Amino acid sequence: MSTKPSDRFVLGTNPSIGDYVVLGVCPPGKALGKLIIGDNAIIRSHSVIYTGTKIGNDFQTGHGVLIREGNIIGDNVSIGSHTVIERENRIGNDTRIHSNCFIPEFVIIEDNVWIGPCVTILNVLHPPCPRFEDCARSVHIRKNAKIGGNVTIGPRVTIGHNSLIGMGSVVTADIPDNVLAFGNPARVVKPITQLTCELDYFQVPYEWERQQ
């Protein structure tokens, strides 16, 4: 595809665009601004990104990613193959979303969040809801949180700063800052500071991070 600016999208410098990528899809019946993507983007084959979304520098996708309209995505964000990002989300800098994830509408994901493969976020208590636009504005994943593979996060849930959600968990209530939580439903198990590295590579997992 052409990487020159068009009436529907603008690419920054040094883009790498794979085969069968579609940029600047406009939803029927909506008048939206251009899709804007910053410098050094790597967008792999079969990805589709809609108009009205703004993406920072050093962005990359896997294959077959779908990103709908009205998203605001920061710098150095990576989105894995076959992940779906619905409309009007906020995704912070230095965030990694792995493959086969589903991010619905209106989710806030802060900086430096890590989301493992096959994570599903749900945002409506009683679908379908005629007050969806109001009801669904509820899920918040705070800075430096980590979500293990195959986790399901339910509506009206906040995941706390620095917290880790163990693989396969179902999160139905808020998780505080700086804890490990897992299970169905997910429960707080211990503070992050009490985690140990079973292979003895580190005295404490995440010691390489600056905890805030």
Residues 137 and 178 reside in one and the same domain: yes
- Give the pLDDT score at 212: 47
CA dihedral 164, 170, 175, 181 (to 10 degrees): -40
Question: Mean pLDDT over all residues of the chain?
Answer: 94
Residues 60 and 120 reside in one and the same domain: no
Whether 15 and 33 have beta carbons less than 8 Å apart is answered as no
- Give the pLDDT score at 6: 74
- Between 158 and 7, the more confident residue is 158
Residues 70 and 142 reside in one and the same domain: no
What is the distance of C-alpha 69 from the center of its chain? 14
CB-neighbour burial class of residue 85 (10 A; exposed 0-12, middle 13-18, buried 19+): buried
- Give the pLDDT score at 72: 98
Residues 130 and 71 reside in one and the same domain: no
Over range 108-128, report the average pLDDT: 96
Q: What share of the chain is helix, strand, coil (3-state, %, to 5)?
A: 5, 30, 65
Residues 182 and 121 reside in one and the same domain: yes
- Between 29 and 171, the more confident residue is 171
Would you say residue 95 lies in a domain?
A: no
Residues 140 and 82 reside in one and the same domain: no
- Give the pLDDT score at 202: 87
The domain tally of the chain equals 2
Number of residues written out for the chain = 212
| Tokens standing for residue 156 | 């009206």
Over range 14-18, report the average pLDDT: 97
CATH of the domain at 81: 2.160.10
- Between 64 and 129, the more confident residue is 64
Catalytic residues: 126
Residues 144, 111: Cα–Cα separation, whole Å = 6
What b-and-e string marks burial along 18-28, b requiring 16 or more CB atoms within 10 Å of the CB? eeebebbbbee
Would you say residue 198 lies in a domain?
A: yes
> In the predicted model, is pLDDT for residue 68 greater than 80?
yes
Residues 212 and 172 reside in one and the same domain: yes
Residues 75 and 121 reside in one and the same domain: no
Would you say residue 100 lies in a domain?
A: no
Over range 183-196, report the average pLDDT: 95
**Which residue has tokens 């979304």?**
53
**What's the whole-model pTM score?**
0.94
Residues 141, 151: Cα–Cα separation, whole Å = 13
Would you say residue 84 lies in a domain?
A: yes
Residues 61, 85: Cα–Cα separation, whole Å = 12
Residues 3, 13: Cα–Cα separation, whole Å = 10
- Give the pLDDT score at 33: 94
Residues 60, 49: Cα–Cα separation, whole Å = 12
Would you say residue 104 lies in a domain?
A: no
Residues 84 and 160 reside in one and the same domain: no
- Give the pLDDT score at 5: 56
CATH of the domain at 195: 2.160.10.10
- Give the pLDDT score at 2: 52
Domain of 154 in residue numbering reads as 112-212
